[in-house]
Amino acid sequence: MEKFTVHTGRVLPLRRSDVDTDQIIPAVWLKQVSRTGFGAGLFSAWRSTDPGFVLNRPEYEGASVLVAGPDFGTGSSREHAVWALQDYGFRVVLSPRFGDIFRGNSLKAGLLTVLVPEDVVEALWTRAEQDPAAPVTVDLEAREVRYDDRTVPFELDDFTRWRLLNGLDDIGLTLTHTDDVDAFEARRPAFLPTTAPAG
């Protein structure tokens, strides 16, 4: 996983709430068996039917910080939504509230999802609409979003922050605790089922 420390980029103002993962990456794209190439499917229904959709506008080309309304990433657990955002070039998503599974997926895969208040979202939308080139900085070291003369602190637990700052693989970390897993398995009750074909 790529390390995340500080990122400065331009904003894509997505003026919508309740952006579910079916919108981020429609199901037709989920048939691929690889982990790459999903950027082409990002918001593909909106991109293909609405010429004015923000992702179709040349002034936002290269934006890397997506700013959305509340309840971004609700619905399906498809991690393809995270891969699509990353493959398209996004490093950060800011929203007042995320779907739980999407948020978990993003922080596992190295896409930084940051909770910010609604007034910050509104301010960043307005600013990006007036000046699409205006940069915003997301600093994971300091846990701050900075733009113009504003500094907005955000919360992220120490462990996740440490893992992202160092680009660490979760599985590798867990495998260092295999003794604990062995000990737990030795205590599991005998009545629990296995999936071996039932006799």
Tell me the number of residues near other proteins by CB under 8 A. 62
d(CA 187, CA 179): 13
**Using CA atoms in the order 157, 159, 164, 167, what is the torsion angle rounded to 10 degrees?**
180
79, 84, 120, 124: which one contacts other proteins (CB under 8 A)?
Answer: 79
Contact window for other proteins (CB under 8 A) among 6-14, 57-65, 70-78, 126-134: 70-78
Could you tell me which of 3, 145, 140, 12 has the C-alpha nearest to residue 67?
12
Tell me the C-alpha to C-alpha distance, in Å, between residue 40 and each of 60, 81, 86, 114, 171.
Answer: 16, 12, 11, 24, 29
CB 16 to other proteins: min, Å: 7
Q: Is 3 in the site for other proteins (CB under 8 A)?
A: no
Residue (9 or 25) nearer to other proteins, CB: 25
Give the count of beta carbons closer than 10 Å to the beta carbon of residue 156.
Answer: 16
Q: Which amino acid is at 13?
A: P
Q: Is 109 in the site for other proteins (CB under 8 A)?
A: yes
14, 71, 90, 113: which one contacts other proteins (CB under 8 A)?
Answer: 71
Residue (27 or 134) nearer to other proteins, CB: 27
CB 8 to other proteins: min, Å: 26
CB 121 within 8 A of CB 96: yes
CB 135 within 8 A of CB 10: yes
The binding site for other proteins (CB under 8 A) comprises 15-18, 20, 22-23, 26-28, 30-35, 45, 49, 69-71, 74-80, 82, 97-101, 104-105, 108-109, 157-159, 170-171, 174-175, 177-178, 180-181, 184-185, 188-198
